[in-house]
């Protein structure tokens, strides 16, 4: 992402924690050149005070600090349920930096970048370009925030505020379009956008997840029927485990597909890895029923859960999506290449197609192609777009 593109996005504020003044100043200069407010501190206690009065959207954390190391800072951020975008920097080995990133993710933090010193201007800008958890959501938090979101979501479904975005997926072999992933979007009348990781859990808590799924599926298959009824590409939609186990999903899918004259084979149901292999007997029954009806099934975000080869082998999935955390640094990380190669080999042995998520440059695209990955999606191929823009993208 360029500086010009970054400047058009929601305003960022960056807080830097690094005891090396030269590094801190370099980071600050890069950030300010992109129109980002920046404050640099050299001690952990200064950092936590600045979190309150500066209210950053992103933080840069050096792992090697004299008073409190980066892992301890990460734990304190997690204890405070911070929703800032975290950028981890260090002169330590890449494996140590990656381990710190995994630790931050497992503590519930949103890591937007990991940078080994010395890092480039472009790498820092790319890390800053990723939006934090949800500043609109964070700023609105109060004692009744959860209840408010759930109530507002009910109104949003009634008023048609839920929309969809579509992100293209292509074959790595020849670059041809093979499908779109459908992403739910919610923007209220005041223009406030809520990220899926806020409103999907709210829908599950409020018993609205089936209504949300129906809205997203209806819009997606309606779009497909209107514009590309005779095309061959598919539509992929994330489905909550609550919907899968609720008993009404089969009827919903069959009704929406038949109503839009879309064959079940053109719809891919995506489940996250933890959902895809949980409650083995019930999951096996329901997934088998979906496959018997003709629907395709994908394991999403593979590599960050705890599934075993035995679990994967006994479930009739058709597609496996490699988590973006392994794809992001594929070109520079030996460990990520080894993991992705192992996943591709395992999937091939089980007869599963593989999809790489988060492909953001040509080098990564070509590397995945050489490794035998089947499909790819990410900003390099196409950003999530409105249905109208997706039609233009296909016809271009």
pLDDT digits (tens, 9 = 90+) for 12-55: 899 999 988 888 889 999 999 888 999 999 998 899 999 988 88
Region of poorest pLDDT, from 167-171, 240-244, 260-264:
240-244
The whole-model pTM stands at 0.67
pLDDT digits (tens, 9 = 90+) for 81-127: 788 889 999 888 877 888 888 888 777 788 888 888 888 888 888 88
Q: What residue spans of 298-349 are helical by DSSP H? A: 309-314, 324-327, 334-349
pLDDT average, residue stretch 167-171: 98
For residue 145, pLDDT over 60 is answered with: no
For residue 147, pLDDT over 70 is answered with: no
Domains of the chain: 3-129 (3.40.50.2300), 143-395 (3.20.20.450)
For residue 4, pLDDT over 60 is answered with: no
pLDDT average, residue stretch 154-174: 95
Q: What share of the chain is helix, strand, coil (3-state, %, to 5)?
A: 50, 20, 30
pLDDT average, residue stretch 328-354: 92
pLDDT average, residue stretch 265-284: 73
pLDDT digits (tens, 9 = 90+) for 306-315: 555 666 777 8
Q: How far apart are CA 231 and CA 246, in angstroms?
A: 32
61 contacts 82 by C-beta, under 8 angstroms = no
Give the residue among 56, 216, 305 at the shortest CA–CA distance from 224. Answer: 216
pLDDT digits (tens, 9 = 90+) for 318-327: 999 998 888 9
H or E stretch including 237?
A: strand 234-238
Can you give the pLDDT at residue 277? 56
For residue 130, pLDDT over 50 is answered with: yes
């Amino acid at each position: 992402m360029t500086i010009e593109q970054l400047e058009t996005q929601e305003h960022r504020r960056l807080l830097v924690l690094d005891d090396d003044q030269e590094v801190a100043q370099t980071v600050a200069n890069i950030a300010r050149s992109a129109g980002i407010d920046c404050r640099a501190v050299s001690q952990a206690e200064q950092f936590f005070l600045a979190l309150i009065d500066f209210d950053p959207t992103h933080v840069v954390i050096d792992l090697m600090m004299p008073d409190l190391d980066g892992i301890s800072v990460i734990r304190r951020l997690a204890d405070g349920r911070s929703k800032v975008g975290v950028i981890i920097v260090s002169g330590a080995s890449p494996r140590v930096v990656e381990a710190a990133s995994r630790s931050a993710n497992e503590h519930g933090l949103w890591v937007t970048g990991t940078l080994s010193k010395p890092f480039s201007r472009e790498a820092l800008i790319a890390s800053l370009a990723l939006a934090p958890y949800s500043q609109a959501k964070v700023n609105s938090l109060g004692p009744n925030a959860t209840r408010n979101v759930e109530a507002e979501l009910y109104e949003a479904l009634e008023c048609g505020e839920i929309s969809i975005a579509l992100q293209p997926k292509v074959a790595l072999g020849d670059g041809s379009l093979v499908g779109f992933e459908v992403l739910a979007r919610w923007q209220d009348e005041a223009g406030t956008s809520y990220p899926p990781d806020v409103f999907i859990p709210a829908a599950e808590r409020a018993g609205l997840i089936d209504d949300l799924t129906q809205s997203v599926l209806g819009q997606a298959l309606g779009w497909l029927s209107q514009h590309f009824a005779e095309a061959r590409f598919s539509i992929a939609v994330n489905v909550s485990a609550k919907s899968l186990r609720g008993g009404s999903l089969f009827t919903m899918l069959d009704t929406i597909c038949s109503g839009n004259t879309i064959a079940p084979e053109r719809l891919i149901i995506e489940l996250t890895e933890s959902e895809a292999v949980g409650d083995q007997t019930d999951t096996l029954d329901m997934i088998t029923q979906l496959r018997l009806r003709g629907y395709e099934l994908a394991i999403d975000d593979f590599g960050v859960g705890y599934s075993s080869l035995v679990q994967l082998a006994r479930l009739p999935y058709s597609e496996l999506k490699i988590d973006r955390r392994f794809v992001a640094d594929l070109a520079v990380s030996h460990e990520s290449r080894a993991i992705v190669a192992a996943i591709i080999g395992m999937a091939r042995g089980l007869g599963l197609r593989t999809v790489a998520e988060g492909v953001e440059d040509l080098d990564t695209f070509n590397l995945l192609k050489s490794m035998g990955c089947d499909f790819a999606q990410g900003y390099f191929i196409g950003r999530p777009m409105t249905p109208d823009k997706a039609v233009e993208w296909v016809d271009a």
